[in-house]
Structure 1
Amino acid sequence: MPSQRELLLMLFEESEQHKIEGRTRLQKLVFLVQQLWDQSDSEVFNFEPYDYGPFSADILHELDHMEEDGLIEEQVTRLPKGKKYTYTLTDQGEQYLSETSDVSDGEIGSVVQRVISQFDSMPISRLLEYVYNKFPDYTVNSKL
């Protein structure tokens, strides 16, 4: 089973330009990987129902640590209604993943590839709609 760090790095590595735009999108991509992975008895991140469906505070904590360690870069863009976060894998992050992880070739690696190819470029409204319809238990605290 990958560590929290390895799972996030795998998602960045598979994404276009090694970049994921938006915290909400990243939360949903990680959630979908865990839901589609057949190891349902062991979760890398714990999710709970929140403002926009499934949410894990552990993801935000790990992102902070990864940025401090130089594995990712975080760019914050101010918008009229808040902020947009963009996370990009660094060369150091790619090197870390190649040196420490042998899980990306296994079943979890193919699940990550499938989730990224199917959902990474999907408009966020459609991604949320998909997650809400497929996993209604995680919408009980939703703002939408």
Structure 2
Amino acid sequence: MSERLSQNNNTISFEELVRLFEKLKAENKPVITLKDAVLMLLYAQKNKHIYGRILLFKEVFLLYEEILKKYREHFILENPRYEPYKYGPYSFRLADLLEQLYWAGFIEIIGKRNTRLEAFIITDKGIKEIERKFETLLPELREEITKKRQGWDQLGIDGILRYVYQKYPQYKINSKIKDKYKEIMWGGKG
């Protein structure tokens, strides 16, 4: 039976769903979903907006790649399914989820859509939803998420794109702005 469950670009086979369910039962670990990851990222600096959809997408990408994957022996991590796209790593699941979080009242989106003025912030409802789960994380994980969020915010869109394109070049192959962010050779002949 290879029936596929599909919604927009998010497709999962029935077999994948069964395997995931069996894994959850066998491991008896908490699950960190994409929803949890987004809310944790926003909760880590709950009084600060993330400006621009590109910045938010890259921060969630880095949260998965550089932080959550290091701690995955402590929980089961949902795969956001990032793929190379117009501005580097992109997750259609995340795009859909942001709309769901907004309409459910967990996040607020203000400013002009798809510009650097578009801003994302967690609401009181979102704080109530994620606070307990965030506080049950290992202290060093909570601290790392908070510190990295501060650093990524400071990089801004250009800085984070430069960083992501340099560290994860496989995600820039379909980018329409990849030539703007040439690789920098530090301390060598280049």
Contact map agreement 1:49 1:140 (CA 8 A) in 2: yes
Per the alignment, residue 7 of structure 1 pairs with 37
Give 1:113 shift: 2.0
Pick the structure with greater CA Rg: 2
Contact map agreement 1:15 1:120 (CA 8 A) in 2: no
Give 1:71 shift: 0.8
SS in structure 1 at match of 2:174: coil
5 Å matches for 1:30-109? 30-37=60-67, 38=70, 39=72, 42-77=77-112, 83=115, 84-99=117-132, 101-102=133-134, 105-106=137-138, 108-109=141-142
Gap runs ≥5 in structure 2: 1-30, 178-190
Deviation digits for residues 32-68 of structure 1, max 9, x if unmatched? Answer: 1111131399553110001111011111111111111
Change (3 A) 1:111 1:59: farther
Q: How high is the sequence identity, in percent, across the aligned residues?
A: 29
**CA distance in 2: counterparts of 1:17 and 1:10, whole angstroms:** 13
Runs of 4+ in 1 over 4 A off after TM superposition: 40-43
If the length of structure 1 is used for normalisation, what is the TM-score? Answer: 0.84
Per the alignment, residue 55 of structure 2 pairs with 25
Give 1:104 shift: 5.6
Change (3 A) 1:66 1:132: same
Gap runs ≥5 in structure 1: none
Higher RCO, 1 vs 2 (CA within 8 Å, ≥6 residues apart): 1
**CA distance in 1: counterparts of 2:136 and 2:42, whole angstroms:** 12
Give 1:102 shift: 5.0
**CA distance in 2: counterparts of 1:3 and 1:110, whole angstroms:** 19
Contact map agreement 2:40 2:134 (CA 8 A) in 1: no
If the length of structure 2 is used for normalisation, what is the TM-score? Answer: 0.65
